[in-house]
Structure 1
Amino acid sequence: MNKKELKEFLDHKVEIYNQPDFIPHDPIQIPHRFTDPKDIAISGFLTATISWGNRKSIINNADRLMELMDHSPADFIRNFQPKDLDRFEGFVHRTFNSDDCKTFMRALQDIELRDGGLEFAFAKANKASTNLQEGISRFKQRFFEVEHLQRTQKHVSDPLKNSSAKRINMFLRWMVRKDLNGVDFGIWNQLSMSELSLPLDVHTGNISRKLKLLKRKQNDAKAVLELDKALRKLDPADPVKYDYALFGLGVFKDL
């Protein structure tokens, strides 16, 4: 396929897969339970953080987190007292355990009280950076200004350490990307869709290579940058819409 044919092909696949019936089968269903932007952001961030492994397990454990936060995540983050974190004792999702969970609660509260919330923390980090992937690295530094165990740092990816930062890029797509299809929320205005990077995983990486959008064999930060360049040539304003096409093609095997 030439560039024009590839764009037409991928644009068509975006239309097919970027639909509301995607929501009930994906972890994005958790933040879709809320209407308040703060609830959406906090529930989305926590859900994205544990979005690896079995999809059913991800959704069940994200649902459990919401239950532990009284199904009011923003109110809980703003107002919890240290003793309230005892309720997370025993929570575990793969390597994300109760100690990690408590640290995330403290970090989210610190960001809420000092920065005004996740959107402004990400925006501040991004403004001090040359691109959004560097901004994610700065956000990680900000996030872990609270007291924490060293092991917990692995649960926020760092592109400057060559991570693809798939889960954070997915979360940012949810919050920033605006369209009329109702899957992504598009509730953040401090970051631009054009800056977003694709949440690179096994499916999107494999399909990107088949379509000659990506040469690099590893799914790492360098591959994200390479894919960014290719997708921004297809749509400079909204490059990560192609996540729907590449992921759908990878999962449903119709390429």
Structure 2
Amino acid sequence: MDSEMLDGAPDLKLILTAGVGSDHVDLGEAAGRNTTVVEQTDSNTMSVAEHAVMQILALVRNFIPAYNDVVSGGWSIGEIAAKSHDLENKTVGIYGAGRIGQLIALRLKPFSVDVSYYKRTLLGTAEEVTMGFRYARLSDMLEECDVIVIASPLTEETCNLFNRKTISKMKRGAHIVNIARGAEVERDAVVEALKSGQLGGYAGDVWDPQPAPEDHPWRTMPRHALTPHISGTTLEGQVRYAEDTRLCLEAYFAGDDFERDHVIVSDGEIQSGSYKALYG
């Protein structure tokens, strides 16, 4: 939804995403035209958080090679075990501690891991204690973390944030799990780092572009555990998408206010703090 598309819809009053994430909309243009932008905030957070924990375990325990081994008729215990670790006592960094990032931290608690987080606005002490994590800058995460989970919105600040330079500063053999947006990592840098062993594994649910073309290099790179952007679309998640979309439509046609946390742009202004950082 860019300026050209909006030019072709001069009477457009509402852009309603039946999901989470509004980076596909030029929010500055929408605000300038007084077009309201609404999304279904929190409808898939639980689903995505569970998916992220699953992918962390898949990488650390070297699950995908083990699965492929038995499917192909193998029994390569030594080779697979040589790259399999306990998650216990590892350090996990969560870059972007919004709703999803906080749920990931809570679900990691039973694994006895050391969890750090980065968020543009620091959480309170009580929140940090409840979630079981501590604040850390990205530079500290790169040096300390065995796993970094990317859970931040796609903005100008986060686009290609995990590039060759950034990845080169990570602990050798560390893992990245990206459940945010594909463009937050540099595509070819991930491939190179996996081949060289700088990255021990890459998992995620997001690609750039989407749908990913057949020749996308991530499909064939080593030590990955990628899925086709399905983390938030469990059957339960889809029910929440549909229900929240219905409620938003009913509110709009009745002239009622939307639930506040669903609103990204209204009254000519960007309301979401994450996106304000992008559009100023």
Same fold (TM over 0.5): no
Which structure has the greater CA radius of gyration? 2
Scaled by the length of structure 1, the TM-score of the pair is 0.26
Scaled by the length of structure 2, the TM-score of the pair is 0.24
**Structure with the higher strand share, 1 or 2:** 2
**Structure with the higher helix share, 1 or 2:** 1
Greater RCO structure (CA 8 Å; 6+ sep) = 2
